[in-house]
């Protein structure tokens, strides 16, 4: 497939680049790799964890597939919050993660979104109409939400027709930036990215149109002997964290 990637202003690129939100990492900080769709809830959860325990969490955001590659190459992440179940499972099977620590922390929802009011109808018929020049998705090879977008288009039997209009972001964060800046009129994004965004137009994609987006967490080998890393994973399942996760449109199990 011919993949197009758009040029967007450097400021927008800075917003989607890998970033630590807790300042320079210290030896006793908990190092957490976070799927880009989970950026805002992860920030709130990390702040609540610090308020409760006094321990700092360094969050690094990006695409799940890119994180897995970095982990196989020795990246010192202690916890992985992936956007899928496959990467944590692979990490466990490869001995890169601690067996028995993997669990689903959130179930994501896919949304077709436009910042233009009325462009996206409640049933997603705009896809069949083709009344747009560019359709933004995340890279399906690296980002589970991008894979879900491709699956949705194939379920609707529109993938071949719309393929020339597809532009890919390296992560779901960049896919959203394409739509938010107007570089693409419509895009498949995570519900969590737009649940608190007023205006625009959107279609909540039926869960039956793609494989479930089961987002799993796992303790990685560098965190095996760090009580704070284990405590952070436990906190992720606490009522306080679950309330935050639900508020961003995720389902929890």
**184-212: average pLDDT:** 97
Q: Are 189 and 111 in contact (CB under 8 A)?
A: yes
DSSP string across 126-167: HHHHT--S-EEEE-TTT-HHHHHHHHHHHHTT-HHHHGGGEE
Phi-psi region of 83 (alpha: psi -120 to 50; beta: other; left: phi over 0): alpha
Helix (H), strand (E) at residue 240: helix 239-247
Residue 61 has pLDDT above 50, yes or no: yes
**118-146: average pLDDT:** 96
Q: Which of 99, 102, 98 is nearest to 81 (CA)?
A: 102
Residue 19 has pLDDT above 50, yes or no: no
**61-68: average pLDDT:** 97
Please state, rounded to an integer, the average pLDDT across all residues of the chain. 91
User: Do 174 and 143 have their domain in common?
Assistant: yes
How many C-beta atoms lie closer than 10 Å to residue 191's C-beta?
A: 20
- Per-residue pLDDT band for 132 (boundaries 50, 70, 90) equals very high
The distance of Cα 193 from the centroid of its chain, to the nearest Å, equals 9
User: Do 140 and 196 have their domain in common?
Assistant: yes
User: Do 51 and 143 have their domain in common?
Assistant: no
HEC profile of 52-113: HHCCCEEEEEECHHHHHHHHHCCCCCCEEECCCCHHHHHHHHCCCECCCCCEEEEEECEEEE
User: Do 40 and 28 have their domain in common?
Assistant: yes
User: Where in the sequence is the domain holding 180, given as residue range(s)?
Assistant: 109-209
Specify the pLDDT at position 27: 55
Residue 219 has pLDDT above 70, yes or no: yes
Specify the pLDDT at position 4: 54
Query: How far is residue 239's CA from residue 246's CA, in Å, rounded to a whole number?
Result: 10
- Total of domains in the chain: 2
Specify the pLDDT at position 28: 74
- 224: domain CATH number? 3.40.190.10
Beta strands 79-81; 166-169: pairing state: unpaired
pTM: 0.88
Specify the pLDDT at position 253: 83
Specify the pLDDT at position 8: 38
**Structural domain contains residue 94:** yes
Q: Report DSSP state, residue 144.
A: H
- Per-residue pLDDT band for 240 (boundaries 50, 70, 90) equals very high
**6-20: average pLDDT:** 36
Residue 10 has pLDDT above 70, yes or no: no
Collect all residues with Cβ–Cβ distance below 8 Å to 133 and sequence separation of at least 6: 165, 184, 185
User: Do 152 and 222 have their domain in common?
Assistant: no
């Amino acid at each position: 497939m011919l993949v197009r990637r758009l040029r967007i202003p450097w400021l927008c690129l800075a917003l989607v680049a890998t970033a630590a939100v807790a300042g320079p990492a210290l030896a006793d900080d908990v190092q957490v790799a976070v799927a880009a769709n989970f950026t805002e809830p992860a920030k709130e959860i990390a702040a609540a964890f610090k308020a409760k325990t006094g321990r700092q969490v360094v969050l690094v955001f990006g695409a799940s597939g890119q994180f897995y590659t970095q982990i196989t190459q020795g990246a010192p992440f202690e916890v992985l919050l992936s956007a899928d179940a496959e990467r944590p499972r692979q990490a466990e099977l490869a001995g890169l993660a601690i067996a028995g620590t993997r669990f689903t922390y959130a179930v994501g929802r896919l949304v077709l979104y436009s910042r233009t009011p009325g462009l996206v109808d409640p049933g997603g018929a705009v896809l069949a109409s083709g009344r747009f020049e560019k359709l933004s998705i995340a890279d399906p090879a690296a980002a589970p939400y991008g894979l879900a977008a491709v699956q949705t288009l194939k379920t609707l039997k529109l993938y071949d027709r719309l393929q020339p209009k597809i532009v890919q972001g390296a992560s779901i964060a960049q896919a959203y930036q394409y739509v938010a800046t107007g570089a693409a009129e419509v895009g498949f994004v995570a519900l969590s990215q737009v649940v608190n965004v007023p205006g625009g137009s959107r279609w909540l994609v039926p869960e039956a149109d793609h494989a479930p987006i089961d987002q799993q967490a796992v303790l990685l080998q560098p965190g095996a002997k760090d009580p704070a890393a284990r405590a952070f994973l436990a906190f992720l399942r606490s009522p306080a964290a679950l309330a935050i996760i639900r508020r961003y449109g995720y389902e929890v199990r």
